[in-house]
Structure 1
Amino acid sequence: MRLKHTRKQIHGMVDISGKSETTRTAVAASRIQFTPEAFKTLIDEGSPKGDVLETAKIAGIMAAKSTPSIIPMCHPLELSKVQVTFEVDKKALAVVARAEVVCLGRTGVEMEALTAAAAAALTIYDMMKWKDKGMIISEIKLLSKSGGKSGDYHRT
């Protein structure tokens, strides 16, 4: 089976030069689940490496900006906004990272948002693995996107 981007022996990025520039927005999320002991440590003490959520926020922003270096066939984009936020769910012993990415461009920013959300969760794992190597990263997903010919998408 060949992918759309590689059929007919075409190797390289899709030509987007004929597309119109529009404001493109994407929001993605990821979730990291903790054991009770590790979650308590995250909340009460943090990590010997430093502020866990601030570091994860920076990692998410850096990852969004680096997406074309990580994901083959992704176009380099001039991002207008990358915002990474966290929801700390004390009842579920989990943290949800949410990444919003915006640009004025010819292609969407879904991959940038997904990469940011994933990198934020991976950074939390890295900073807390000293306490619990059994953390679970899950639910890396696109929540919404807008702009472009394909229209809007909102996860229901």
Structure 2
Amino acid sequence: MSHLTHTAEGGEAKMVDVGDKSDSRREARAEGYIYMAPATLVLVQENNLKKGDVLSAARIAGIQAAKQCGNLIPLCHPLMLNFIGVDFEQQPEHNRIRIETCCRLSGKTGVEMEALTAASVAALTVFDMCKAVDKAMRIDGIRVLEKSGGKSGHYVADK
């Protein structure tokens, strides 16, 4: 098992020094799902919820979340992201919405946490906007799908 990079010898948390690393193009994609009642999904599809356009609000929330990741997660570096994408796939056959995010930059550290944060907050925003009509929604399956760039190379999650 490899050494945890955010832990000092005594076990205390530490921020990794990336100052000597070279810049490289880095990209990460993440996904998550929000499960809901079929009637709730129809309300989202028809843009018929009192709070407004659920997916537009969730997209903006996901983008904002990725930009704030360094402020939310204590040992993450603040990053100058070049691109943040948040996309939705309505999957009525599974009573869910799939959220896929993508973050890119040219820098010294990866963007997995930003992509994961974007997916998480987008899902939470969908939940918030639909909770008045569906209290039993469930957020699940948030994970990194793919990452590239940097010394650790290319990673692709199992299907």
Amino-acid identity (%):
45
* Superposition map of 1:18-37 within 5 A: 18-37=20-39
**Cα RMSD, aligned residues only:** 1.5
CA distance in structure 2 between the aligned counterparts of 1:111 and 1:82, rounded to whole angstroms: 12
Find the partner of 2:107 among 101, 105, 108: 105
Give the Å deviation of 1:8. Answer: 2.5
- After TM superposition, the structure 1 = structure 2 runs for residues 46-125 of structure 1, keeping only pairs within 5 Å, are 46-125=48-127
Q: Please give the alpha-carbon distance, in whole angstroms, between the structure 2 residues aligned to 1:91 and 1:131.
A: 20
Give the TM-score of the pair, scaled to structure 1: 0.94
The change in CA–CA distance for 1:3 and 1:149 in structure 2 (over 3 A counts) is closer
Is the 8 Å Cα contact of residues 22 and 106 (structure 1) preserved in structure 2? yes
| 1:123-143 deviation line (CA, Å, top 9, x unaligned) | 000000010010010000100
Distance in 2 of aligned mates of 1:113 and 1:46: 28
Matched positions, count: 155
The answer as to whether partners of 1:24 and 1:145 remain within 8 angstroms in 2 is yes
* Cα contact 2:5–2:16 (8 A) shared by 1: no
Deviation per CA, 1:93-138: give whole Å up to 9, x if none: 1101111000000000000000000000000000000100100100
Query: Would the aligned equivalents of 1:32 and 1:96 in 2 still touch at CA under 8 Å?
Result: yes
More deviation, 7-16/91-100: 7-16
Unpaired runs of 5+ residues, structure 2, are: none
Q: How big is the shift at 1:3?
A: 5.2
1:104–1:4 CA distance, 2 compared to 1 (3 A): closer
Instruction: Using structure 2 for the length normalisation, give the TM-score.
Output: 0.92
* Counterparts of 2:46 and 2:137, CA distance in 1: 17
User: Equivalent of 2:41, from 39, 53, 56?
Assistant: 39
User: 1:46–1:52: 8 Å Cα contact kept in structure 2?
Assistant: no
Cα distance between partner residues in 1 of 2:9 and 2:138: 40
CA contact under 8 A between 2:47 and 2:53: conserved in structure 1?
Answer: no
